[in-house]
Structures are given as structure tokens and as C-alpha cells.
Amino acid sequence: MSRKYFGTDGVRGRVGEHPLTVEFALRLAGAAARVLAPNGGSAFIGKDTRLSGYMFEAALEAGFVAAGVDVNLSGPLPTPGVAYMTQRFGCDFGVVISASHNPYEDNGIKFFDRSGGKLSDELEAQIERYLEEPAVTLHSERLGRATRVDRSRVLYQEFCASTLPDGVSLKGMKIVIDAANGAAYKVAPRVLAELGADIVPIGCSPNGRNINDGCGSTDPALLQLTVPGVRAQVGIALDGDGDRLVMVDHLGRVVDGDQLLYVIARGLKAKGNFNGPVVGTLMSNLGLEHALAKLGISFHRAAVGDRYVIAKMREVGAILGGETSGHILCLDRTTTGDGLVSGLQVLAMLKVLDATLAEVVAEMPRYPQVLVNVRVEHKVDVRANPSITAAVAAAEGRLAGRGRVVLRPSGTEPLIRVMVEGDNEAQVRAEADGLAEVVREASRTAGH
């Protein structure tokens, strides 16, 4: 379903440029209220630490109140915390003001439904239909009310702590926590400390402009230095809105989302009769699939994007899924990706296995993956173009079951992403470069 403003994760862009303006936020609030709470109701609004968050919070608050919706304002709270509190407070919908792992100059607005799940494409399309109309202001007796709910952070902290399995304690663990100077800067250190860990916080001093700046899951270099430097067992890096993570082992090596999925699955298997399925994406490393197969755990792939992972998980009845980027979904614990909760599950599984993160991760091979972004001059259908499909078939034949080829168009840029993976890095690179050239030529030919 075609949408003009909503992307895969809400409305996002550069602050001050359409659509990330105060005027648009007011209209968006009015339009969302008409679709999600047409007879009045309540909303929960949380944000990350960007300077512009205060501006958009005020605009959305005004738009919702004017449309007769009561508003609960939490201030900085991780995206999954907003999903949880929307449910906890019985609100009709939740709103997050964040651009996740983007720099502070960007921001975004995304919505949750009353169950804490992301809106369907159909609901987002309905909201867009009302965006061309001015924001509604009802008569005084029908206006909503805005309330600050400071206890929401503590309630969310208690929820996160409760997801650590019974009988597991973090006492004796030294953990470096990097909150990306973002939404989890208070919550994450406090939860880990309350569970008994000895914590070393970094990236927990936001100033409105330093979110994701040289810290967090997208830039874990400081964490890699700090963990072995302070002799910690493990490091946890969240992104700006707290819904994804990467980890660092005691040697300072980064552990990505594929490896974290393996650690959780391996621990669950050791605890009982967990046979999956586990859901990854088209980009998940083939080593994860093979390592899970050795454990007798089935693996399914979804399109890239957490909403597609969740859809596939529901389709196949999975409780565990995620992306290489560190967006892990533990649906037996939460309704959406939660970096802190996922990190707690990894720590718990290390306790169950009585092993270090490095030891468990070593059980999963990581095959070389080469990704080439091909800028295309003219649109080309990679699934129907004869020269491309023939080249892909030939490459897959040469890989002989020891690798994969994935071609997919970018959703936001004129790019075709060519990914080749296999057990021989030199061959993988050669196949990727060859396929990229075939795609370029097909695009040039399409223009004639």
C-alpha cells in the first residue's frame, strides 16, 4: 500500500525540513487522533534525548488535546518502554519521538496501537488521507487533558527487571553499559545495577546533541576499548531509542544480532525442549542458519525490517527473531524489539550455559558476506530481468550450496543491493562484483 510520509518506521527526516516541522506534527496529531481515537481517548507519548524532541512533544500534545485526546507525557523513555506503557496505561495508542540510530539533526514520529504493536500499513494510509486537512480544535468542553507521568520510567524499569528468568542473578558480573546518550540513559544502568551487576556506564550523559555520537550500537569503538580496559565480562551498547543492541565480549570483540540470536537460542535449547523456529532476515548470516540446524532448531527468513520479522514470527509461531543490526525480538517477553530486555536474555543464557560470551559465540561460524550497493540509472526488476536472473543462477551454481545470493532494491534510494555470502571470501567477492556489473549494465540498457 503506497504511503507518502510513513516509511518502514514511522515518519522520519531532517528537523526543519518537510515533513519534520511543527506545523506538520500538529496536522499529524489531528489526523492520527481521527483514525486511532475517533471518539476521544488517550495517548502515551515518549521521546529520546534529541533537542528537537521537546518541540515535537509540545506540537503533538497540542494536536491531540485539541482533538479531544488525553495525553500522558513520559519524557525520555526507550521506544519499547512506550509500547509497554501504552498497554500498561490502557491507552488507545502510543507515540515515540525519535530517529533511532540517526544523528541528532534528524527526528521521527512513530505510533503503536493499543496492544503495543506497530500500526498496520492500512492504518498509516488512513492517517495520511487526513493529513491534507487542517488540525481540528474542538470546543472547550471536549478538549483532552495532558498529564506528566513521571512514574512511567520506574514502572518500565520494573518490567525490564522482571524479564530476567527466575533464579538468575547478575551478581558478580561486571558490565559496561553504553546507552548512546539516548532514551535509555537512565533506565539501562539502573536496571542492571538493581539486578546486582557491577556497572560501568558510558554514553549516559545526553546533552541534546550527542545522541549516537561516537557511542551506542552503531559506533561501539569506545565500548570495545572500555570492556577489556576495566576487565568487565561483557559490554552492552544500545541505540538512541533503545530498541536494538550489540554486545562486546571480554576481549573487546563486537557481537552482532545474528550471534546474539544464537546465544539466546542455544541457552533456551539447554534449558528445555526449544526447537524453534527462529526468524531472521534475508541478510542474516548463513552461519546462524547452519549453527541452529546443528542444534535441531528450525530457521526462517523474512524481508529486512522488524515489522516483517514480527509478521513472519507470528506466521510460523516463533518467540525468537531478529536482525543482524541487533534488533532482537523476544515475543515471550515483549511485544516489540527491546535492546535492554534482549540484553538481559543474553546475560541469563550465559549464566545457564556457565560460559563466557566469547565461548558461546565461537560455536557459530560467520561466513564472509559482501554487500555491493549498485546505483541504478533506470529502474530494473531484478526478479524478471533475463540477464540478471541468468547471472544469479550461474553464481548460485558456482557456490554449490555453500553460499547465497540476495538482490534487493533499496526502499529509499535508487540502489540495488547485491549481497553474496559463502565459505570462500575471495569467491564471494568475485561473485558480488560480477553480479553488480550485470545489474549496472541491465540498468543502462533499460534506459534505451
Determine the pLDDT at residue 134: 87
Backbone angles phi, psi at 369, to 5 degrees: -130, 130
Quick check: 186 pLDDT over 90? yes
DSSP 109: E
From the number of C-beta atoms within 10 Å of its C-beta (0-12, 13-18, 19+), residue 358 rates as middle
pLDDT in tens, 222-257: 999 999 999 999 999 999 999 999 999 999 999 999
Residues 6+ apart with CB under 8 A from 427: 398, 399, 403
Report, as an integer, the average pLDDT of 86-95: 97
Quick check: 32 pLDDT over 60? yes
pTM: 0.91
What count of other Cβ atoms lies within 10 Å of the Cβ of residue 269?
19
Q: Report the alpha-carbon distance of residue 342 to residue 112 in Å, rounded.
A: 20
Quick check: 331 pLDDT over 90? yes
Chain position carrying cell 475517533 = 38
Quick check: 82 pLDDT over 90? yes
Dihedral sign from CA coordinates of 315, 258, 194, 76: negative
**Residue 360: what residue type?**
V
- Kindly report which listed range (2-11, 83-92, 313-322, 332-341) carries the lowest average pLDDT score: 2-11
pLDDT in tens, 273-301: 798 899 999 999 999 999 999 999 999 99
Quick check: 374 pLDDT over 80? yes
Report, as an integer, the average pLDDT of 17-21: 96
Sheet of 328-330, strand order = 299-302, 278-281, 320-322, 328-330
Q: Taking Cα atoms as reference points, which of 177, 419, 175, 186 lies closest to residue 283?
A: 419
Confidence of residue 306 (pLDDT cuts 50, 70, 90): confident
pLDDT in tens, 403-435: 999 998 886 678 999 999 999 999 999 999 999
Determine the pLDDT at residue 2: 63
Dihedral sign from CA coordinates of 96, 100, 105, 109: negative
Is the Cβ–Cβ distance between 254 and 297 less than 8 Å?
A: no
Confidence of residue 379 (pLDDT cuts 50, 70, 90): confident
Residues catalogued as catalytic: 100
Report, as an integer, the average pLDDT of 255-272: 97
From the number of C-beta atoms within 10 Å of its C-beta (0-12, 13-18, 19+), residue 266 rates as buried
Dihedral sign from CA coordinates of 108, 88, 149, 217: negative
* CATH label, 170-253, candidates 3.40.120.10, 1.10.3720.10, 3.90.76.10, 3.40.1500.10: 3.40.120.10
Determine the pLDDT at residue 198: 98
Residue range 11-151, CATH number: 3.40.120.10
The cell numbers describing 125, all together, are 494510509
Report, as an integer, the average pLDDT of 302-321: 94
Identical fold between 11-151 and 369-446:
no
Report, as an integer, the average pLDDT of 201-218: 97
Quick check: 1 pLDDT over 60? no
Determine the pLDDT at residue 212: 97
Q: Report the alpha-carbon distance of residue 406 to residue 188 in Å, rounded.
A: 36
Write down the domain spans for the chain: 11-151, 170-253, 256-366, 369-446
Residue range 369-446, CATH number: 3.30.310.50
Could you tell me which residues are beta bridge partners of residue 175?
199, 234
Confidence of residue 67 (pLDDT cuts 50, 70, 90): very high
Confidence of residue 150 (pLDDT cuts 50, 70, 90): confident
pLDDT in tens, 113-137: 999 988 998 999 999 999 988 888 9
Determine the pLDDT at residue 145: 98
Determine the pLDDT at residue 413: 77
Which own/partner pairs from 325-330 qualify as long-range (CB within 8 Å, at least 24 positions apart)? 325/217, 325/244, 325/256, 325/257, 326/217, 326/239, 326/244, 326/245, 326/246, 326/256, 326/257, 326/260, 327/243, 327/244, 327/257, 328/244, 328/245, 328/257, 328/260, 328/261, 328/264, 329/279, 330/163, 330/264
Report, as an integer, the average pLDDT of 91-106: 97
pLDDT in tens, 36-45: 999 999 999 9
Is the Cβ–Cβ distance between 181 and 204 less than 8 Å?
A: yes
Secondary structure of residue 178 in the 3-state scheme: strand
* CA separation, residue 293 to residues 172, 274, 340, 382, 398 (Å): 33, 12, 27, 30, 23
Residue range 256-366, CATH number: 3.40.120.10
What percent of the chain is predicted at pLDDT more than 90? 88
Is the Cβ–Cβ distance between 29 and 60 less than 8 Å?
A: yes
Sheet of 415-422, strand order = 369-375, 415-422, 403-409
From the number of C-beta atoms within 10 Å of its C-beta (0-12, 13-18, 19+), residue 7 rates as middle
Look at strands 93-97 and 11-14 and give their pairing. unpaired
Report, as an integer, the average pLDDT of 54-66: 98
